[in-house]
Chain A
């Protein structure tokens, strides 16, 4: 195998990050559009305009989510198993919210009844707003540690409750996540629409951009007081993964260690601020495409900050710290990580190429005239 095990473990931490960021940028702007739909579109035609900005792309974009899940299964099976089963009701809420999207997009405009259409509009709102909120809440809980432990055969037991996930800090990170995705969606809508919808989207971008900056700052300050986790035993990055083989301690301020030992990681929170400010300024100037690039960089910064703060932890355990899952001990075998690395290396550029082509084919403003002319085929 060409790449050694410790390096691959770190590469896979980066790749899961890339997939999560890709999901948030691509599926995220669809979700932001869904969240804004009932508010920026005031009548049926306007709402169809909004929906059709993402109509040809939402399905492809949703695959970032599915592939992200698959990649976590393949690369971090213990994380996939422990997080999905532990966060049972939260995951089901995400899943059931996502149910509204494929049918909402495809079925909404197939019947003329206003009640039918309005119902699906709120369905698309739920499908857009709930997943980012819950993912944000989940990250807030990861940063505080989650109550779970393994027995000697690595059967995981989650000892918390669904309501325990909804603690104040996690709700704050939920707001940050929702604001980030809605902000990103608003900027996308500014790029693809004109007139009233564009104006309303601009207002939304301002509101959620400011909310994001405030929420991110508040969470950053709060994090100073949240006890982080450190591995106190020696780490052998090339060892076979066994989460029970280490010692872990909780320590106030531990989530700030990486920024002190690797000052380059400070670039991530800085990017979150600069991206948001740049996106706002560019959007106000009407340079919407550049603004979209900037808000995408915001997402890199925000998610990167959460990841870098916790590294090498992925899912710390608050009730049995040594059960915590880290980059070193929750991964797949050397062979599987290698295969999956090369599969990603081969397919990611191909995916990006044809996705870009699809966006180019469908580029341009979506207008009321377009919706009227294509009323049988458009969403």
Chain B
């Protein structure tokens, strides 16, 4: 039976493996374009140092990529292994972008990554650059398709419920494809990846410069990273996810929660910088606010209101009440498919079916529903505010800090004096973990902020799981923790070793720490 413990463990396993996977993905996304830039300079200028840069940073990229591949398969398996009802219920829509991702993106990326590493002596310069570019395009396309899939979870457009097949079915592929949520997410996420790639190169180059080693190599790498990083950081902020927050109720709920906006405020709403959140009494004990800002960002207007949490709960209560009718009608259709009256009633209330299904957590039959349970289900539609509020703020603060760093780094790159600014180099070095923390916070806000749903308004999380035993979950979770810990230690060891060794690891004879042929 589906127990709360089973649901929690399934969520924990998915969250842990997904967040672990996303330690490697953004670096891959960003590094591919950094490699394209470096190699393009090599092809245009013919200077071997740019080839060495492509190969050395490519080596670190490869160490990271291996774990990205390893941990990515877990996620594709996991929808089926641990979220079987989800897979059945929305596979008709959700499966398609995953399959197209394989056909269109993964094959491209994975085939050409082989030639990227092994093709240096067998391809002309231009051919090799083409290979690197195709690898980068493949990587970015895979992000596009997975975010189309994820965007649909946040804003399920282009689909309808079918009572005969007992699932959601696609009715408009283009709506799924051009889901504004998906598009905003794609731009935001790949830009965050570019920032990660740029920060990686910037930090390690700064470390070489602080040690005054491989200086020419490090300076060139630093400059490219500074320019690419600033452009990307601005793109993350300006084309940020917030542009998608006016779309659909899911994002309005998430926005109200992550802004700790309990009441609907007169437009344009203010943006809380920090606040003392009191979830029990549904208010903030104190807050520091910038007037107007949230309304401007969130609605791109001065007069549109953003609903507060209490208003959203009241609205969702009416949807739960109507959803009960939908579930009752569905139960009748399932037990007697010929019941035309029940089908008719289901159609009337179908839009709120998901809200009725929220009650399945508490009762098996809709006849057992009490007003208290309806209140509870309506209150369930708001995720916990505190972690979202602070998670989002941490992400944004890191984003601005990184933009400032890249701005200064580029400024002094243009002036040509960055190598003599130890404070800047040290700042760059210590900023290394920032993009990863920001990326993880971003996904946390996106996914935790959608609870209690896997598909907003359509399928509650507690219904989505596979009917496994709790002991199976403990076993698999322990296995993942074990494997992933060992893998992380191995990866970090190699990454640090080769980063320390620097371009000398290429064995070209041009750098410090040359190693003998093995």
A residues bordering B, Cβ < 8 Å? 55-60, 62-63, 65-67, 69-71, 73-75, 77-78, 80-85, 88-89, 91-92, 95-96, 98-99, 101-103, 105-107, 109-112, 152-158, 240-242, 332-333, 335-336, 339-340, 343-344, 347-348, 351, 354-355, 358, 361-362, 372, 374-378
Contact = CB atoms under 8 A, between A and B. Distances in A.
29 contacts: A60-B114, A66-B72, A69-B76, A73-B79, A73-B94, A73-B95, A73-B98, A74-B99, A75-B95, A77-B88, A80-B79, A88-B468, A96-B479, A99-B70, A106-B62, A106-B63, A107-B494, A109-B518, A153-B166, A157-B467, A332-B169, A333-B165, A354-B107, A354-B108, A354-B111, A358-B111, A361-B115, A362-B118, A376-B515
B81 A73 contact: no
Contacts of B94: 73
Interface string B468-498: 1000100110010001000100110010001
A300 B141 CA distance: 31
Contacts of B515: 376
B107 A62 contact: no
Given A110-B494, A333-B92, A60 B110 contact: yes
Contacts of B74: 95
Contact of A74 (B63, B95, B162): B95
Interface of B: 55, 62-63, 65-67, 69-70, 72-74, 76-77, 79-82, 84-88, 91-96, 98-104, 106-108, 110-115, 117-123, 162, 164-167, 169-171, 173, 334-335, 466-468, 472, 475-476, 479, 483, 487, 490-491, 494, 498, 505-507, 515, 517-518
A154 B88 contact: yes
B165 A361 contact: no
Given A91-B80, A361-B115, A361-B123, A70 B99 contact: yes
Contacts of B165: 240-242, 333
Contact of B91 (A74, A152, A344): A74
Nearest to B463: A155
B449 to A, nearest CB: 25
A105 B114 CA distance: 11
A351 B122 contact: no
Contact of B99 (A71, A335, A358): A71
A154 B102 contact: no
Given A59-B114, A339-B96, 5 more contacts: A55-B118, A70-B99, A88-B472, A103-B67, A374-B121
Contacts of A109: 518
Contacts of A372: 517
A378 B334 contact: no
Nearest to A95: B77
B92 A376 contact: no
Contacts of B93: 336
A155 B107 contact: no
Nearest to B82: A85
Contacts of B100: 70, 340, 343, 347
A103 B73 CA distance: 13
Contacts of A153: 166, 334
Interface of chain A, main secondary structure: helix
A378 B62 CA distance: 12
Contact of B81 (A85, A343, A354, A358): A85
A372 B516 CA distance: 12
A358 B95 contact: no
Contacts, number: 253
Given A91-B81, A107-B490, A157-B467, A70 B88 contact: no
A102 B118 CA distance: 15
Given A70-B95, A343-B103, A103 B80 contact: no
A361 B106 contact: no
Contact of A378 (B67, B86, B118, B468): B118
B103 A77 contact: no
Given A63-B106, A66-B73, A376-B507, A80 B95 contact: yes
Top 5 closest pairs, chain A to chain B, by CB: A77-B91, A84-B80, A67-B102, A74-B95, A60-B111
Contact of A62 (B67, B110, B472): B110
A152 to B, nearest CB: 5
Nearest to A333: B169
Given A106-B66, A378-B118, A333 B103 contact: no
Contacts of A110: 63, 494, 498
B170 A336 contact: yes
A349 to B, nearest CB: 11
A112 B99 CA distance: 39
Contacts of A347: 100, 103-104, 107
A49 to B, nearest CB: 14
A346 B86 CA distance: 29
Most central of A55, A56, A77 by chain B CB within 10 Å: A77
A55 B81 CA distance: 30
A89 B81 CA distance: 9
Q: Which of A70, A152, A242, A343 has the most CB of B within 10 A?
A: A70
